[in-house]
Structure 1
């Protein structure tokens, strides 16, 4: 007998919350971490970006491996890898080992996120149940973002920043055990080989991209940066060429003929490049620009992240006839409206100047997260749920890496005074608003195109092979 859907949701939500908790926790304690490790400017950039590198590289391969070799198996293994990475960070003697630990954390979190979302498809096959489940998944995403910086700042105050990674190690082991106990194994039912060439090309291309974005924050004209840009183009071009030619690759290019998947992919990228990138940087603004303590800064961000948790849970109450594309485009418009008050700050602005905007942006973010979770699973065939999840989450974290780079380049001024930092932040928020508006427009156009396509071609071929579940 299969596990109850509620048990699956506990494991999936717990893993998602942990992955985002680990991702965001260091953001409120960057000075403490860099000071303790003796990190310079370049090392600090890598400390902020290294987990994104692991996530981006491993999300799509993890989803494909979960589809073909067992989603529970890959989920549990990912939690174990996350524990190893957290332990490396806890004992790191210097920035090199710490950055390596963060990359390992990203690799493990990728498997947890990709397969944690994919297991919801078999457990909630009906539309109403899936809407409730992805609403909870989106809420856990927001809860991880909300609790990470807050707990990080609190633990740093009480016992030092390394305690955070000891706690993350213990929680990762607990998630591995919960996943092993509560999840049924589910696979696509199609025997396939591992796409080793595709995995290496994708990993190399995304690694080069993330490295170029990180190094480019210092300069774009050096030989290293230019080499990384060329490597990105060559490797990712080779990856997509390989996927178009090979049978049984990790990415099925024909899936992108689906407007719903394209909309979800665009929405995830825009969410990462827009509001998520700004919220990654906002703690720096609050501490260095508005003179808040790390704990006060993390508490202020709760206006956004806690609101997103509530709105994600309430998304299931939206009319069932409201398509995913409409939900995503409208939610991005709401995010844009919430960002407007944040684009006109001054060094003497108080928390009240941010609160309303953060709450409104949080409402839009929560609906967007829940809608992206639903579309990532619903816009692909059931036997490709892991691939859909991998595509969606990869887009989000590549978008976040691009967005953080843009925010850093726009917001950081050579003078480094609070007034200059706030001025740069305001300019970066204007960019974030523009990104969100463009994303809303693109998704609306894709949704309209998909609607016209269904009207013109009502007879759509059915997808074969529902996922096979086995106990154990």
Structure 2
């Protein structure tokens, strides 16, 4: 799974906002502000990966079955995605700095709870509270950064530094997770996050100014409640169906409830004055098909990383540290892909890059079907998953540009919110949707192959659908610019 480094455009600063820097050269105070904001974002990025390689050890210690391990990831991703847009609105209304600090405090306390968890329930509670804290930190941190540094060289430099650290967070997390698990145990991975939160919480109050949106937007609480409840119900149903079957009572009830809540969400959003998701915007060609590509690339890659983590340690017998090194190679090549992607997009356009990246990701995941129980498979796995991750990064960047190309400037904030939400939902649904097939299989290797086959088929099908959906070169009636016209930004 990878972390999206795109930042939402912040509202125009009001009288309470900090006076932004206007030169590329950062003052000492600006540097410290950037350091605190980047450290918080880096911490959240780290959380997406630092626990992955520790999952088998965690399961053994807390008595969690293989089928329950997916909740270690899902319990964090679901609230962080479900409350992301609402948290951004709360920050706009009541103060971004205030909510940022609350998020840091909650994240730090939740990390301590996960560190000292005494059973699966207490650990998953800590992970869920971490997700709520992250939902507050990510949008407010982005807004504080873009209101502190004026558009131009100073903001470009700040965003470049922030994006680099976010990209490194995933790679460092995989390697650090392996080292910490092998030396100090899996609990140290959660303890590391609490240290990051504490340091940021100590420095932030004296450095960050308060910042609010002058528009004072209304909160769409019904929208947040229905979409979060719907996703939670659906994911529970999918996660338990493999164990109990789709005919089991609680599976049927939660599946119906999830679909009903999501249907209610569409009704709520169509009537809300300040909706979390603009339904008319979703009817735009580039927004709809671009987000489909983003949803598939995130969800399917997160499932691959999850099942390969189990495969490396439980089938091949690699240590947590060795597993972290494999994913470290993946992270390095992903960073290279991120640096090269703007040139590729500038040459071929965002649409072709998105379709080609999805096709490449699907084909390389299909190559993983050659894995077996022999140790030589680690070389095939390292090469295939690393190259697939390069395609994954290309899809992430190009889907964001594709979506943004379909809306006018005044609606870019809503479009970027959709991009971020797609990322979070994709990370949330991928593991329970496919990962459960591996964790509940009597033969883990057979289960891993089943997941990889379905994963590859879904990504390749999405490449075809997105390509057909965006094949028209005509501009949409709303005046959207076709992705082919986009170069590197």
**Distance change in 2, residues 1:30/1:142 (3 Å):** same
* 1:168 equivalenced with 2:181 (yes/no): no
2:247 is paired with a residue whose SS is coil
**CA contact 1:67–1:383 (8 Å) conserved in 2:** no
**Distance change in 2, residues 1:45/1:447 (3 Å):** closer
1:24 is paired with a residue whose SS is coil
**CA contact 2:178–2:322 (8 Å) conserved in 1:** no
**CA contact 2:114–2:127 (8 Å) conserved in 1:** yes
* 1:212 equivalenced with 2:234 (yes/no): no
Residue pairs, 1:224-303, within 5 angstroms: 224-303=250-329
C-alpha separation in 1, matches of 2:134 and 2:96: 14
Aligned counterpart in structure 2 of residue 2 of structure 1, from 14, 20, 27: 20
Aligned counterpart in structure 1 of residue 122 of structure 2, from 97, 100, 109: 97
2:474 is paired with a residue whose SS is helix
Which segment is superposed worse, 214-223 or 239-248? 214-223
1:144 to partner: Cα distance: 2.6
* 1:328 equivalenced with 2:364 (yes/no): no
* 1:341 equivalenced with 2:367 (yes/no): yes
1:151 is paired with a residue whose SS is helix
**CA contact 1:346–1:422 (8 Å) conserved in 2:** yes
1:422 to partner: Cα distance: 2.6
1:51 to partner: Cα distance: 0.9
**CA contact 1:188–1:383 (8 Å) conserved in 2:** no
* 1:402 equivalenced with 2:425 (yes/no): no
Which deviations, in whole Å up to 9, do the C-alpha atoms of 1:23-69 show, x marking residues without a partner? Answer: 22222112322233233466544334211222232123223334555
**CA contact 2:80–2:131 (8 Å) conserved in 1:** yes
1:192 is paired with a residue whose SS is coil
Which segment is superposed worse, 84-93 or 190-199? 190-199
Aligned counterpart in structure 2 of residue 428 of structure 1, from 451, 454, 470: 451
Q: Alpha carbon RMSD of aligned pairs, Å?
A: 3.4
Aligned counterpart in structure 1 of residue 111 of structure 2, from 69, 82, 86: 86
C-alpha separation in 2, matches of 1:437 and 1:333: 5
Which deviations, in whole Å up to 9, do the C-alpha atoms of 1:416-436 show, x marking residues without a partner? Answer: 3xxxx3333223222222222
**CA contact 2:300–2:459 (8 Å) conserved in 1:** yes
**Which residues of structure 1 form unaligned runs of 5+?**
461-472
C-alpha separation in 1, matches of 2:176 and 2:377: 23
**Distance change in 2, residues 1:385/1:106 (3 Å):** farther
Alignment match, 1:52: 77
C-alpha separation in 1, matches of 2:417 and 2:72: 24
**Which residues of structure 2 form unaligned runs of 5+?**
1-18, 482-489
* 1:442 equivalenced with 2:465 (yes/no): yes
1:299 to partner: Cα distance: 1.0
Which deviations, in whole Å up to 9, do the C-alpha atoms of 1:344-375 show, x marking residues without a partner? Answer: 11111332222321232122122233345556
TM norm structure 1: 0.83
1:284 to partner: Cα distance: 0.3
1:296 to partner: Cα distance: 0.8
Aligned counterpart in structure 1 of residue 59 of structure 2, from 34, 55, 58: 34
**Distance change in 2, residues 1:458/1:206 (3 Å):** closer
Aligned counterpart in structure 2 of residue 392 of structure 1, from 414, 419, 431: 419
Q: Paired residues, what number? A: 453
**CA contact 1:142–1:309 (8 Å) conserved in 2:** yes
Aligned counterpart in structure 2 of residue 366 of structure 1, from 393, 396, 401: 393
**CA contact 2:40–2:196 (8 Å) conserved in 1:** no
TM norm structure 2: 0.80
1:178 to partner: Cα distance: 6.5
**CA contact 1:273–1:404 (8 Å) conserved in 2:** yes
1:311 to partner: Cα distance: 1.6
1:346 is paired with a residue whose SS is coil
2:314 is paired with a residue whose SS is helix
**CA contact 1:11–1:178 (8 Å) conserved in 2:** yes
Which deviations, in whole Å up to 9, do the C-alpha atoms of 1:186-219 show, x marking residues without a partner? Answer: 6553222222222222222122122223323422
